[in-house]
Amino acid sequence: MKVAEKIKELREQLNNHNYNYYVLDNATISDFDFDRTLKELEKLEKENPVFFDSNSPTQRVGGTVTKNFNTIIHKNRMYSLDNSYSKEDLFDWEKRVEKVLGTSELEFTCELKFDGASINLTYENGQFIKAVTRGDGFQGDEVTNNIKTIRSIPLIIKEEFVSNFEMRGEIVLPIDGFIKMNEERILNGEEVYRNPRNTASGSLKLQDSGEVAKRPLDCLLYQVVTEERKYKTHFESLENARKAGFKVPKTITLAKSIDAVFDFVNYWDAKRHDLPYETDGIVIKVNNLQQQEELGYTAKAPRWAIAYKFKAAQVSTILNEITYQVGRTGAITPVANLDPVQLAGTTVKRASLHNADQIERLDIREKDTVFVEKGGEIIPKIIAVDHTKRPENSAPTMYATKCPECDTVLVRTEGDAKHYCPNEFGCAPQITGRIQHYISRKAMDIDGLGGETVDLLRKEGLIQNYADLYDLNVAQIIPLERMAEKSAQNMIAGIEKSKEIPFEKVLFALGIRFVGETVAKKLAKYFKSIDRIMTATFEELIKADEIGDRIAQSILDFSSDLGNIQLINRLKSYGLQLEVSAAVLENQTEILQGQIFVVSGVFYQMSRNELKKAIEDNGGKVSSSISKKTNFIVAGDNMGPSKLTKAQDLGISIISEQDFIYKIS
């Protein structure tokens, strides 16, 4: 047999054995024979490097060292999920879905929500290409070499599937594997890991993939993302993904109603502790893929899916002291300092008290015995007080009246839940917090500069605001603690590169109150430049999409402050992108200004996302549901009959995909 044929045969054998053992849980070869076959393949590949294949089974053993993980922008955004905690929440979600689709004929998939680290796997022509962490949903870190060591992830697709696609899943650490890892650490005198989820997540960022290979990580897949229209339902796509070699949980179930969904919820709420993995809830999805497209997304989450969270773990402990934190906007957050207590796998010492109203409503006092819960099993919060254990000399909590950092008298405007420190430019946490927000990944994404360094630079008197960053030089930074010449050079290079960041991200980075990522994009798209935003009137501001009274007033307050005006002028002088670039403007028009479109059906010349982008690029607005305000419906094949009827009843113009293309040509 020729060498090339032998190598191919051994690879196919090992891939099949991996699939049978790690996906089907059905070993078809002994460990000894598997290792012997793998060594035979390794020898042949070493002797014949011309046949190297990055997706060979021999590449799963690790050994590659990654010093820096590249940041990769997701081709398709990885959204968060809206959460629900009751049957009523699910009924409300079902009604919203029915309203948008105009039908009550729905089918759902129910899936266990495994607690791990989200991952996005890219495949082209049946070959594994890369793996990227979720990150902030828009971009993540490439961890391809580490992911290759997880044997339940196929590097080559077993049989015909879709050609080019992304596979979304969760990297998990089985409970048994986690326990064994900790037993080994105890024997070695090392500190134990706290919980499987954090350990799985941390494993993905280990520099040595050989170390990752030693950990019993697994990958459970839950979504196929592709532009190919081969399958009609989510369930069908996952069934075929399983046949192609992916480890898709067999617990996924079809449900014809919300009542059936709740049967699934109730069953697994009782049985979840018998699972080999940690799970914190159920994910419910509209099964029909075309209906998913019709429903679309909000700014943060898909409308076609929702997570039902199991009741969070609770413990009781003593609240020793209430202290106050100052955020970058000056918002004051009261914090409960607790006797340390174990909760959902972590030691909790502090919990948020949110605001003065919650303290008053629950009558929370120092030295109380309180019940602590992890909200969504992530952020600890106090949910109740055990009044039967309250000390006799207990006194009601008097909320802080002055800033704990700068002693400025706190203010609280009508209708606002929080107190604020108004000393914007003289309060240390606000100064540091604004700069930390400015350099963060979602904003200016400045490499080589972290939160601790920002605080150090401020304390050394080198910066007092984010504009000061652009006056820094290497000579100023090298003398600082834990700074070397290379680190200083990287920091200055990162600051310089931030001048290329597009306008909408710069606008978000400025830290204007209530102007988050989505609002910043809307403002940038509508006004095109910081000058137009800063000089806009209240009436002009609220004309922009999704800009209400509160946001408009916040922008006016920011724009009228002399200190902010000076900061913006300095940023201009440094060459930052404070207007939409010419390249972006070149592809935008006002042809559809003021017109509202609903996109419905299956299209062939443009994808649904391309259609929506074209509408927005030409000044129009995309809506998910039909109303009296809708101007046009762009209708493709298989448009829902109820939508068609509603459009005809309201007298809304229905145009084809080709009509739309002519309209913007």
Q: What is the pLDDT of residues 472-494, one digit of tens each?
A: 999 999 998 888 888 899 999 99
Enumerate residues 6+ apart whose C-beta is below 8 A from 185.
Answer: 191, 192, 193
Going by C-alpha positions, the residue among 138, 127, 27 that lies closest to residue 80 is 138
- List the Cα angle 316/320/323 in 5-degree steps: 115
- pLDDT, tens only, 374-384: 765 456 889 89
Q: Which of 113, 309, 525, 646 is catalytic?
A: 113
Q: What CATH number labels 596-664?
A: 3.40.50.10190
Low-confidence ranges of the chain (pLDDT < 70): 1, 21-25, 61-64, 344-345, 375-379
Q: Which residue from 140, 126, 127 is spatially nearest to 75, judged by alpha carbons?
A: 140
Angle in degrees, 0-180, between the axes of helices 562-573 and 549-559, rounded to the nearest 10: 80
Tell the residue number behind the tokens 């909590």, with chain if given: 397
CATH class given for the domain over 83-309? alpha beta
The yes-or-no answer on residue 572 being catalytic is no
Query: How much is the pLDDT for 25?
Result: 66
What 8-state DSSP symbol labels residue 274?
G
Q: Which two tokens stand for residue 482?
A: 């834990």
Fold of domain 3-61: Helix Hairpins (1.10.287)
Tell me which residue of 609, 598, 585 sits closest to 639, measured CA to CA: 598
Please check whether residue 206 is in contact with residue 143, taking contact to mean a CB–CB distance below 8 angstroms. Answer: no
The confidence score (pLDDT) of residue 536 equals 96
List the domain boundaries for the chain.
Answer: 3-61, 83-309, 314-335+348-420, 428-500, 503-585, 596-664
Q: What is the pLDDT of residue 188?
A: 77
pLDDT for the residue 443: 93
| Domain 428-500, CATH | 1.10.150.20
Give the integer Cα–Cα distance in Å for 634 and 653: 9
Fold agreement between 428-500 and 503-585: yes
Secondary structure of 79-110 as H, E, C letters: CCCCEECCHHHHHHHHHHHHHHHCCCCCCEEE
Query: What superfamily would CATH give domain 503-585?
Result: 5' to 3' exonuclease, C-terminal subdomain (1.10.150.20)
Q: What sign does the CA torsion over 18, 20, 24, 25 have? A: negative
Note whether 292 and 106 are within 8 A (CB).
no
Candidates 425, 422, 500, 488; CA nearest to 458 is 425
Given a contact cutoff of 8 angstroms between Cβ atoms, the answer to whether 464 and 424 are in contact is no
Beta-sheet strand order (sheet of 632-635): 621-623, 596-600, 632-635, 653-656
Q: Regarding the domain delimited by 314-335+348-420, which CATH topology (the fold level of the hierarchy) does it fall under?
A: OB fold (Dihydrolipoamide Acetyltransferase, E2P) (2.40.50)
Show the beta-strand stretches assigned E in 520-600: 596-600
